[in-house]
Amino acid sequence: MLRFENVVLEQGDFRLTADFTLEAGTQAALIGPSGAGKSTLLSAIAGFLEPSKGVIRWQRESLSGVPPGDRPMSILFQDNNLFPHLTVAQNVGLGLRPDLRLSKAETAQVTETLARVRLAEKADEKPASLSGGQNARVAIARLMLRAKPLLLLDEPFAALGPALKSEMLELVSTLAAETDATLVMVSHDPDDARRIANETVLVAEGVAHPPKPTETLLAHPPAVLAAYLGH
């Protein structure tokens, strides 16, 4: 489980508190107005921002001071998820070994994973020659290979257009379900939350509220969420 114990995040004047638990295997959405701190909360889980107070725990272990690369998670950012100067296969291979000294078996694993996302023939191309959707699948292939128990999505598919975005979210959600991974995703779109997330965390007015079942929350939104959703 992912536990926030009296966590306070601060960036300049900005302040966000969080005190709740997400059970392992949950697929949760973070929803709330722009600038409320959804991405900030995600970067704290990922280790790019240390809480000024409190502890974030994964399976009872404190994550304090653990560098991002050593945390049990994979993250997809809003952009820059692939290195444009490396090939597709190299970008995926980095998920196995950051120094890219892949054994034969590991190379085979990369090829196999690329085939799973239907990009086998693009292995030696650079991201620039692929479409947006294909690039998203390269990043997802790397998620598969890393096989971490915690998946964080900071709206990585926002630029793709509605249909493709849903398709990619479904792909990640299926992956999380297959591997019993916990998924935490930032979302602007209540429909995404409904489709993917069984739980939703409302982030608003400086507080990340304890998770509620998505349907319940969206059916009876608190005032601040109602205002955001435009009800």
Q: Which parts of this chain interact with another protein (CB under 8 A)?
A: 46-48, 67-70, 73-75, 77, 80-81, 83-86, 90, 94-95, 98-100, 126-128
Cα separation, 216 vs 90, in Å, equals 43
Cα separation, 227 vs 88, in Å, equals 43
- Nearer CB in complex with another protein: 102/224: 102
- Nearer CB in complex with another protein: 68/161: 68
The least CB distance from residue 69 to another protein, in Å, is 3
- Nearer CB in complex with another protein: 57/146: 146
The least CB distance from residue 90 to another protein, in Å, is 7
CB 216 within 8 A of CB 35: no
- Nearer CB in complex with another protein: 35/69: 69
DSSP 3: E
Distance from chain centroid for Cα 115: 23
Q: What is the DSSP string of 153-201?
A: ESSTTGGG-HHHHHHHHHHHHHHHHHTT-EEEEE-S-HHHHHHH-SEEE
